[in-house]
Structure 1
Amino acid sequence: MPFHLKPLLAAAEGLPPLFTLLAVMLTTVVIVSLLLLRLQQSLLAGYFICGIIVANSGILDLLGGGESEARIAQMSEFGVMLLMFTLGMEFSLSDLRYVRRLAFVGGGWQMGLCGVLGGLTAWWFGISVTGSILLAVALAMSSTAVSLKSFQDLGLESSPGARMALAVAIFQDLFIIVFFLVLPLLLDPGHREESIWIRIGSLLGRGGLFVLLAGIAARWIIPTLLNVVTRTRNRELFTLSVVGSCLGLAFVGGLLQLGLALGAFVAGLAVSESIFKHRILADIMPIKDLFLTLFFVSVGLMVDLQVAAIYWKPILALTLVLMVTKAGVITLIARKLGLVHRQALMAGIGLSSAGEFSLVLLQKAGHAGVWDIGLQQTFIASAALSMGLLPAMMKAGDPLGAKLEKLGWGRRKPVLPESAPIRKKMRLMENHAIICGFGPVGQQLNKSLIAEGVPTLIVELNAETVHRLKRQGQAVLFADATHAETWELTRLMQARMVAFTFPDATLTLEALALIREHRKDIPVLARARFASDVERLKRFGATVVINDEVEAARAVTDQARVL
């Protein structure tokens, strides 16, 4: 040990070990991420690199050796649980309703073909039946977060390729829910002497009990709790209640031996379709990136460079075969479902990597001793490498598709013409009004502005409303006003005004901050449910604020005079 490190380590012995480990990890993340941003590279790759650096630099030995390994495992489990909750929150049954053909047909063929190819190949190379099944499912899964973020970075989030990727990702989420229920049957060697029917019956019983409890919580307990908390108008208590609900259902899932991760995912699903969903997402989004960072860094911590160096050829070969095979299979499926060649290729590349659930399954398989350390390192490193390479592959996908078309690929008439993406429509809009929310107030404002000859753009989060407005020819975005990407799509720089027709001051304040970053001069009309929110909204940039209480009082007074 270098002499100059001894005083530092002696001082660190008095600090909580978990705090010290987190400090080292996150400091490394910041340094590496700044370097990667300067080089215009994916931050996701940086998270893996940080974990690898910490795990292989000797820092863990200095911080306690075996105890540090145990703490890493705990952090990894906690990171997975938080990640699963956010994924459950973003899962949308409304989205599934409108992309069900792409989801069930495209997703079913993708999981089936990729899973069969992966499983048979693993079995051919001598991996056990259990290991082959786990590996087949793990490698067939794709990264929802990385894929959709890459489409957004390229400005293609509304393209047919992105819709195909989203549909398949939704099917994969549905599939993994069911697979997590049967996972204990594959990974529980301690009860293999029991009858398979007894184990299945026990699993179904525990699963049924959990679904019942989760349904009760989602239908009555959580909404009632959030209703009570919302009346306090205390944002911190609201966020604490949401996190508490997540941990509570995760704990119940753990008690029933179904896993903390599955419990957290179901907790996310429990509130994903509630009226509180968008406020919860607004509160969770600022810390979601931290959850993802901890998870991906924890995966990097599992990579042993000495072992990986021995198996570098299999790692590179598996990564190449995985990405090329999945991209090819999904491209063919997308073409059969009607996408034009270039968009089918983008969908294929976007889903070609392994995913977050892949890493979760590989971690669990490694802990259960399904295969040896060499295979574990090969699979983990390959899955991580494919996810790290995906953003760069996506950037090359569109130029590659264009080049292939010039060489004669896809010249025949497409099965289904590519629909014009929303961004193309937005390019034609100028001097328009942006209306956030399409409730009764938004509908009346939109009608009045159109009657005055002012073009309007609706920002709405109700999928049915969005589809109805699209059929009517109304310019509309299915987007969240609290996301920076939304305001890029609205052509804010060319707009004449912004109106928030919903009275939630918390969401309006978050959106106002984003608007004022780009346009300090644009008039902003807002609503406030309570008088206490009026001055706060004006202070943060609202031009005019309509107070619901004042307007209601004026209307009641006017009506009382008539009676």
Structure 2
Amino acid sequence: MQHLPAMIHDLALILGTAGLVTLLFKKLNQPIVLGYLVAGFLVGPKISIFPTVIGVASINLWAEIGVIFLLFALGLEFSFKKLLRVGGSASFTALFEVSLMILFGFTTGRLLGWSTMDSLFLGGILSISSTSIIIRTVEELGMKNMKFVGMVFGVLVIEDLVAVLLMVLLTTVALTRDFSGTEMLGAVLKLSFFLSIWFVAGIFLLPSFLKRTQKLLSEETVLVVAVGLCLMMVVFASNVGFSSALGAFITGSILAETIEGERIHHLIAPIKNLFSAVFFISVGMLIDPQVISIYWKEVLLLSAVVVVGKTLSVTLGSVLSGQTFKSSLQSGMSLAQIGEFSFIIATLGLSLKVISEKIYPIAVAVSVLTAFTTPYMARSAEKTYAWLEKILPARFIQSIDSYSVLSFSMSGNREWREQVRAYVLKVLLNAVVVVAVFLTMARVFLPFLLERQMEEGPAKFLTLSATLVMSAPFLWALAFGRTKQFEALLVEQGKGSHNYVFLVSRIMLAVGLLGAMVGQFVPLMWAVAITLWMVVVVGYVLSQKLQDIYGWFERRFLTNLNDDVKKVHARKNSRSLAPWDAHITEFLIPPEAPYVGVPLHQLSIREKYGVTVALIERGRRRITAPGRVECLMPHDHVFVIGTDEQLILFKGFIQSEVPEVALTEPEAEYSLEQYLLTEESPFLNKSIRECGLREITHGLVVGIEREGGRILNPDSSETLKRGDLLWIVGDREKILQLT
């Protein structure tokens, strides 16, 4: 009889057990991740009732591969565009919540008498919520079309990014044993620099490569290329001092921006599911019943810290960011658990041998407990709000909602914020590219020449010359590159003179950066002379040529970043009627629906459900502000505005006698905007119908704020008055032209 390797035996055991256990958990409507943990516990070395794995070391190797693919798939779902689309409210809430939970975890650990390092890792473990558990809970409870879910998903995106940053910082602290701010700042700056380089280089190279080879890419070759790129970046990240998980995450984020992003995500899903299952099973294998029996009080205490701490921190952060109290509480109670990244952070601490072994099983036990409570927390959020609304002073609730109105109105100038962000990002990225070119040439190309027995003088001259040539276009852009839209906004706001201040500041930055970089190759006096020579060449002699070269780089980069293929996935920028409960949601019309082909006026959708049909996408055709005679057709994407309660009713209508369909949000060009009626407004004292706003904006007036009151989905005969704040859903550019 042929002898099987121990690894095959172990895989058969753990995957067979996992299959049976997860089927049971699926039947019980529990998260599959918990099934993997239970399966690992049953076949692990801590329990002898069932057969036990033989080669724990080989399973740990597979688990490490699982982490890589888990982070790679997460990066494919993440994408840099998605980060930019996450609103400031979600970003602030996530950072506020993570900071507080790290503090709560660290303080709790110290109160329990744990070491400083144990307490620090405990803070990181308790700070990150479980994406898989939350998504599963939202889907099973039918909450995907509720307003607060957009905030929850936005917080999860930022939390995932913060978790990657936490892993880098905790690794730095663990290896240096230095808690000083200098080391932490250095680690953050190093990470930011490499993230910027990977982002620029990846967006510039990978999408173009995949476009040109698209005809050659079968499913097999796409998969091989994607996995190869992932593992190459894993090796590179490890060599420059970062974790392998970070390299996998970055590769996924960059590939998500390419023309093959969705295809890669689809192909990698089975591999990710297999290896991540092995990872979670390996986590379950480390659950020690004896440790839990000894530390059961700590498990209960930390579970309470997670549930109470996350609920409070997310709710408070969301309120401070301008959300209503109800939406904030729903978000807080939905995020009250820990999961995948908590295991990864705990694994990191164990692999670095800087934390106690007891922390791992305790963290897993806390994750299991909080995962079981998540559905009940999310389901009871509305009842909890209703109870709090009764016992809290009415003035307190009104004050929070008033703050929400104020904060939202203060952040209304979105175009100004976008242009400032684009201006700052352009300056920073050009500076990063210049630094990267100099560092690469100084630390890679120059040593390469010296190893080939070239004399130091000629080697430095050749390296510096090549470096100045390659960095010249980006130095020109850093110093003189124009951002016309930003400059026009400054002129519109009467701040045209600020353009010269910004220009002088950028020139000084470019000159200082150039001098510092050249100083790596030559003595100080030579560095000053070369810098002055470059200022003349870049700023005057070759200005037009460098502008053309940089323009080519920029156009190619922006083309890759804003590829039309990705617009389908860019529908994450809709705006809610904050602080109202109304928001935009998309529904897909099933082909067998009984209402297909029936005119909208016969369906009486607004009268029955209180919602407004704002847009219909039919293939490549877009029907804005559909009229009474328009019909819903099979596979239409219908964008609807209403409150959570109204949308739940409408969802029941959409799903009449058909299975549940996925919900997403509309693309950015068709969005909700504000318009304030002044004395000069041409629409003053006219009805909505008489104004012709439907024709002008290709949209609808879906809300009016008047003297502290709100009218949602107003009748077309409503007369507009001075001081009315109109909420219009339609073509964003056309609405902005009204002002």
* Alignment TM-score, normalising by the size of structure 2: 0.54
1:127-526 matched pairs, under 5 angstroms: 127-188=114-175, 208=193, 212=197, 215-220=200-205, 222-227=206-211, 229-232=213-216, 234-402=218-386, 412-413=397-398, 414-415=401-402, 416-420=579-583, 422=585, 430-431=595-596, 442-444=619-621, 446=623, 453-455=630-632, 475=639, 491=654
How far residue 325 of structure 1 moved from its aligned partner, in angstroms, is: 1.7
SS of equivalent residue, structure 1 residue 353: coil
Q: What letter matches 1:317 in structure 2?
A: L
Does 2:106 align with 1:119?
yes
For structure 2, the residue ranges without an aligned partner over 5 or more in a row are: 403-578, 599-614, 642-650, 662-739
> Quick check: 1:339–1:417 contact (8 Å CA) kept in 2?
no
Aligned counterparts of 1:342 and 1:223: Cα–Cα separation in 2? 42
Q: What letter matches 1:216 in structure 2?
A: A
Q: What letter matches 1:136 in structure 2?
A: G
Could you say if the C-alpha distance between residues 84 and 490 of structure 1 is closer, same or farther in structure 2, counting changes exceeding 3 Å?
farther
How far residue 120 of structure 1 moved from its aligned partner, in angstroms, is: 2.6
Could you say if the C-alpha distance between residues 156 and 136 of structure 1 is closer, same or farther in structure 2, counting changes exceeding 3 Å?
same
SS of equivalent residue, structure 1 residue 475: strand
User: For residues 162-188 of structure 1, what are the alpha-carbon distances to aligned partners after superposition, in whole Å with 9 as ceiling and x for unaligned?
Assistant: 112122222223323333333332222
Aligned counterparts of 2:77 and 2:370: Cα–Cα separation in 1? 23
> Quick check: 1:164–1:347 contact (8 Å CA) kept in 2?
yes
How far residue 429 of structure 1 moved from its aligned partner, in angstroms, is: 10
> Quick check: 1:353–1:383 contact (8 Å CA) kept in 2?
yes
Q: Decide which moves more: 46-55 or 28-37.
A: 28-37
The Cα RMSD (Å) is: 4.1
Match of 1:54 in 2: 43
Aligned counterparts of 1:373 and 1:139: Cα–Cα separation in 2? 17
Match of 2:22 in 1: 33
User: For residues 81-113 of structure 1, what are the alpha-carbon distances to aligned partners after superposition, in whole Å with 9 as ceiling and x for unaligned?
Assistant: 111111111114444444422123212221222
> Quick check: 1:182–1:203 contact (8 Å CA) kept in 2?
yes
How far residue 399 of structure 1 moved from its aligned partner, in angstroms, is: 4.7
Q: Report the number of matched residues.
A: 452
Q: What letter matches 1:368 in structure 2?
A: L
**Percent sequence identity over matched residues?**
26
Structure possessing the higher relative contact order (Cα contacts under 8 Å, 6 or more residues apart)? 1
Q: Decide which moves more: 243-252 or 278-287.
A: 278-287
SS of equivalent residue, structure 2 residue 358: helix
> Quick check: 1:426–1:490 contact (8 Å CA) kept in 2?
no
Q: What letter matches 1:21 in structure 2?
A: D
Match of 2:731 in 1: none
User: For residues 174-228 of structure 1, what are the alpha-carbon distances to aligned partners after superposition, in whole Å with 9 as ceiling and x for unaligned?
Assistant: 323333333332222xx669x99799879966985676366434431x3355335
SS of equivalent residue, structure 1 residue 226: helix
How far residue 247 of structure 1 moved from its aligned partner, in angstroms, is: 1.7
Aligned counterparts of 1:203 and 1:323: Cα–Cα separation in 2? 29
Does 2:177 align with 1:14?
no
Larger Rg: 2
Aligned counterparts of 1:216 and 1:295: Cα–Cα separation in 2? 31
How far residue 424 of structure 1 moved from its aligned partner, in angstroms, is: 9.1
Aligned counterparts of 1:32 and 1:71: Cα–Cα separation in 2? 22
How far residue 264 of structure 1 moved from its aligned partner, in angstroms, is: 0.5
> Quick check: 1:52–1:305 contact (8 Å CA) kept in 2?
no
Could you say if the C-alpha distance between residues 20 and 105 of structure 1 is closer, same or farther in structure 2, counting changes exceeding 3 Å?
same
Q: Decide which moves more: 378-387 or 70-79.
A: 378-387
Could you say if the C-alpha distance between residues 425 and 259 of structure 1 is closer, same or farther in structure 2, counting changes exceeding 3 Å?
closer
Aligned counterparts of 1:16 and 1:279: Cα–Cα separation in 2? 35
Aligned counterparts of 2:83 and 2:628: Cα–Cα separation in 1? 35
How far residue 233 of structure 1 moved from its aligned partner, in angstroms, is: 5.1
Q: What letter matches 1:219 in structure 2?
A: F
How far residue 62 of structure 1 moved from its aligned partner, in angstroms, is: 5.3
> Quick check: 1:246–1:264 contact (8 Å CA) kept in 2?
yes
Aligned counterparts of 1:232 and 1:69: Cα–Cα separation in 2? 41
How far residue 261 of structure 1 moved from its aligned partner, in angstroms, is: 0.7
Could you say if the C-alpha distance between residues 336 and 243 of structure 1 is closer, same or farther in structure 2, counting changes exceeding 3 Å?
same
Aligned counterparts of 1:50 and 1:61: Cα–Cα separation in 2? 12
